Amino acid sequence: MSTTKNNEKLKVAICGGSGYTGVELLRILSGHPKVKITAVTSEKSAGKSVSALFPHLEKYRTLTYEPLNKINLLDKADLFFLALPHGASQEAVNFFVENKKRVIDLSADYRLSDPTVYQEWYGLPHKRLATLKKAVFGLPEIYRSKIKKAKLIANPGCYPTSAILGLLPAIKNKLVDVSSLIIDSKSGATGAGRKADIAVSFCEVNEGFKAYGIGTHRHTPEIEQELSLAAGKKIMVNFTPHLLPVDRGILTTMYAKLSQKTDTASVLRIYKKMYKDEPFVCVLDEGIFPNIKNVRGTNYCHIGIKVVQRTDTLIIVSAIDNLVKGASGQAVHNMNIMMGFGETTGLESLALFP
């Protein structure tokens, strides 16, 4: 049941609305019948209309960016999406939660339940431990019942979403040796954010393809946290991300040694059974594998499976749009669950093709 009264729309604010994830929130929510965006912030673009900065968002020509003044924003919305840089969300999230607002945080500040792990990987102390304990990891396929009751959602990272959804059924069903997990991910350049950075400029990215953050990427502990919970024991993974010369999309290929003799058809049955009621996870038929083009602009995760019997290896391939299922679309899905809206509301668009 919806927590808003009758036909009253939910008042929503987006803090950090000029980056790629903030802009995607604006795009997705433009078609949401239960939501009204009442405020959007940007320090650099304060005073400009949304459509002046992003002409494709013409619907928001009367909505103006404003500075992130937490006190001024407090009465403007009932739910806050925070699309701020890592570290910057700690205080803002805490403020809105303490003032009884619902919050969906798209940064990493509240994803890791252990503050010492957060400090190790992000180089910052976590100063809001009481609020951290209230956060629910916002992967609906695992935590739907907790999300329904939550006031604070830590929206998962893009790489972790693709890896966790890909490996979860295999780990839950003890199909693989969890000490052998290799995760190889490729992401479009928007994963680096909307900023001036030579490494992700056109001439650096175009016609190139490279690995980065080998063994050190900050999404590693997030993946390990959730896979360890699924396995009931500590898991460590080898995770290597790559930069693709495309705007958006993540393709993740996962390798694991089988713990029992099986075949592709049998594993597919397990995956399809686990995800049969999930509106945004599509397990592809045998012999068909994901392509980022088929999920572009959507909230879907496509998963393909192959058992290589010659090497006793399970290979899983997943594809998501890093800005939608990997960020803003998943945030809207979490909002829908929190507020009692239909889960797919505002998220039913299909990919553009070609």
CA distance 142 to 153: 13
Q: Which of 39, 41, 61, 42 is nearest to 50 (CA)?
A: 61
Provide the strand spans (E) within 24-64. 35-41
Taking the CB of residue 353, how many other CB atoms lie within 10 A of it?
Answer: 7
**In the structure encoding, which two tokens stand for residue 70, read together?**
């937490």
Catalytic residue selected from 15, 158, 282, 301: 158
CA distance 277 to 294: 20
Annotation says 158 is catalytic: yes
Q: Which of 108, 92, 124, 102 is nearest to 15 (CA)?
A: 92
Per-residue burial over 304-322, b = 16 or more CB atoms within 10 Å of its CB, e = otherwise: bbbbeeeebbbbbbbbbbb
Q: Which of the 8 DSSP states describes residue 127?
A: -
Active site residues: 158
